[in-house]
Amino acid sequence: MEDFTPRRKGRKVSTKPIRIAECPEDYGILTERPQHEFVKAAIYKQFNGPITVENVVDPIAASTGVVLHVRACGICRSDWHGWMGNDPDISLPHIPGHELSGEIAAVGATITKWKIGDRVTLPFVCGCGTCEQCLSGNQQICDRQFQPGFTAWGGFAEYVAIEYADTNLIRLPDGIDFVTAASLGCRFATSYRAVVDQGRVAEGQWVAVYGCGGVGLSAIMIASAFCARVVAVDIADDKLEFAKSIGAEAVVNSTHDDPVAAIMEITVGGPHISIDALGHPEILFNSVSSLRKRGRHIQVGIMESGQHNSSIPVDKIIAREIEILGSHGMQAHRYPEMLEMIRDGKLQPQKLIARTVSLSESPTELVNMNSFNAAGVTVINNFQQ
Ligand SMILES: [Zn+2]
Ligand SMILES: [Zn+2]
């Protein structure tokens, strides 16, 4: 095998006194550790502990990976769950961030599809490219998943190492900026797969969306872009108003009305597709109960631990021939279709971006993720401050 030295653009060398965060010994990508180059990152060393912006060791591309110069990274509730210690994939110390976009800064020895400077994004589940699932085109449920911000250090950093790059990177069309690309992250892309691939949405069909958070609002926008008729369910009137503004034809406030009865009436017999975009046992039960015959329930929202064995109305599943499907992220090869719709203006994920923040503001944003229930997505787009 030929000798290979990772190619890098001209890189800065830190001249300030620095504290080097320890890297996990099993972090295989860091097979070489340059002793003189460091990058800024938001890192935590204990769960539910302080998150600080520090200089950490500069990542190196694995032979099948790249290093990304991160240009934007979404802040997501999954990052909050990870910080709280709810994700067994995370080992400490850890850098969060799984909704990222950027430019390629270094490529590994065996990379064939990418070069330095390419503008890219990636799914939050990166498939290995060689397991049974990947070979069938289902990289989103790969047997050997690489998840930046979970199984490895993530995008709350100036630079991040990405594994399996040939299989998972997605080229950004010229018209799509880094913040928009990062906002697709897990919520928008996951909803796209849920509505289009798992839901098999068709023009004129009714789609019920339970929960108008990031996933739910994305699903509403996507379903209506495919000319489906959407009924949105939530407990907050302001979120339902926003849902209407991005395509919901009807809304139900489930604190005032029984959602099953209301949806059955609005859709005259039940929706063809119903999505639990929040993750709650009652929603799952109501969603399945309200479906039209041969309808499809799509479970996207993650239930809290202790709720994983929720009950469902089995009698209705049989009598109405109902399908129940899970949906987990979206594989890279399905992105171009979605990006094309964004470029054409048929989908406008920009409407779901609430604001942008700097890396130094990201720790506060992350720890308040649970208490501060703002509508829309927050994206880090300034890594110098
Ligand atoms: Zn795989
Ligand atoms: Zn996310």
Whether the pLDDT of residue 6 is over 50: the answer is no
Q: How far is the CA of 208 from the centre of ligand 1 (A)?
A: 32
Per-residue pLDDT, averaged over 140-155, amounts to 97
Q: What would the pLDDT profile of 219-254 be if each residue is shown by its tens digit?
A: 999 999 999 999 999 999 999 999 999 999 999 999
DSSP state of 152: B
> Among 311, 265, 320, which Cα is nearest to 291's?
320
From the CA of 143, the nearest ligand is 1
Whether residue 334 lies inside any domain: the answer is: no
Residue-by-residue DSSP string for 176-239? --HHHHHHIIIIIHHHHIIIIIIS---TT-EEEEE--SHHHHHHHHHHHHTT-EEEEEES-HHH
Q: How far is the CA of 130 from the centre of ligand 1 (A)?
A: 5
Provide the CB-side half-sphere exposure for 82 (13 A, CA). 28
- Alpha-helix runs per DSSP H in 36-100: 77-84
C-alpha–C-alpha distance, residues 354 and 338, integer Å: 21
Q: How far is the CA of 76 from the centre of ligand 2 (A)?
A: 4
Residue 92: domain span = 20-182+348-382
Residue % of the chain over a pLDDT of 70: 89
C-alpha–C-alpha distance, residues 295 and 244, integer Å: 23
Residues 6+ apart with CB under 8 A from 296: 198, 199, 200, 272, 273, 274, 322, 323, 324, 325
CA distances from residue 82 to 36, 77, 93, 176 in whole angstroms, order as listed: 30, 9, 12, 29
C-alpha–C-alpha distance, residues 220 and 383, integer Å: 32
Q: In terms of domains, do 130 and 96 share one?
A: yes
From the CA of 150, the nearest ligand is 2
Whether residue 28 lies inside any domain: the answer is: yes
Q: How many CB atoms lie within 10 A of CB 149?
A: 30
> Among 196, 184, 266, 194, which Cα is nearest to 228's?
196
From the CA of 129, the nearest ligand is 1
Q: In terms of domains, do 228 and 170 share one?
A: no
The CATH number of whichever domain residue 222 belongs to comes to 3.40.50.720
C-alpha–C-alpha distance, residues 262 and 232, integer Å: 11
Q: In terms of domains, do 110 and 24 share one?
A: yes
pLDDT for the residue numbered 169: 98
Taking a C-beta distance cutoff of 8 angstroms, is the pair 224, 245 a contact? Answer: no
Q: In terms of domains, do 365 and 271 share one?
A: no
Say whether 21 sits in a helix, a strand or coil.
Answer: coil
pLDDT for the residue numbered 374: 62
First vs last Cα of the chain: how many Å apart?
Answer: 42
pLDDT for the residue numbered 373: 60
Q: In terms of domains, do 252 and 132 share one?
A: no
Whether residue 58 lies inside any domain: the answer is: yes
Whether residue 140 lies inside any domain: the answer is: yes
Q: In terms of domains, do 65 and 173 share one?
A: yes
What value, to the nearest 5°, has the Cα angle with vertex 202 and ends 194 and 330?
20
Per-residue pLDDT, averaged over 313-338, amounts to 97
Whether residue 41 lies inside any domain: the answer is: yes
Q: How far is the CA of 126 from the centre of ligand 1 (A)?
A: 8
Whether residue 12 lies inside any domain: the answer is: no
Whether the pLDDT of residue 53 is over 50: the answer is yes
Whether residue 372 lies inside any domain: the answer is: yes
The CATH number of whichever domain residue 150 belongs to comes to 3.90.180.10
Q: In terms of domains, do 151 and 255 share one?
A: no
What value, to the nearest 5°, has the Cα angle with vertex 212 and ends 193 and 215?
25
Q: In terms of domains, do 208 and 165 share one?
A: no
Taking a C-beta distance cutoff of 8 angstroms, is the pair 345, 319 a contact? Answer: no
Whether the pLDDT of residue 26 is over 50: the answer is no
Q: In terms of domains, do 161 and 66 share one?
A: yes
Band of residue 318 on the pLDDT scale cut at 50, 70, 90: very high
From the CA of 190, the nearest ligand is 2
Q: In terms of domains, do 50 and 24 share one?
A: yes
Q: In terms of domains, do 156 and 203 share one?
A: no
Q: How far is the CA of 74 from the centre of ligand 1 (A)?
A: 25
Query: Which residue did the predictor score with more confidence, 323 or 303?
Result: 323
Q: How far is the CA of 46 from the centre of ligand 1 (A)?
A: 30
How many domains is the chain built from?
Answer: 2
Q: How far is the CA of 146 from the centre of ligand 1 (A)?
A: 9
- pTM to 2 decimal places: 0.88
Sequence-distant contacts of 135-141: CB under 8 A, at least 24 apart: 137/331, 137/333, 138/331, 139/167, 139/168, 139/331, 139/332, 139/333, 140/193, 140/328, 140/329, 140/330, 140/331, 141/328
pLDDT for the residue numbered 4: 33
Whether residue 340 lies inside any domain: the answer is: no
From the CA of 98, the nearest ligand is 2
pLDDT for the residue numbered 77: 86
C-alpha–C-alpha distance, residues 368 and 152, integer Å: 23
327: exposed, middle or buried (C-beta count within 10 Å: 0-12, 13-18, 19+)?
A: buried
What value, to the nearest 5°, has the Cα angle with vertex 245 and ends 242 and 246?
95
Q: In terms of domains, do 165 and 85 share one?
A: yes
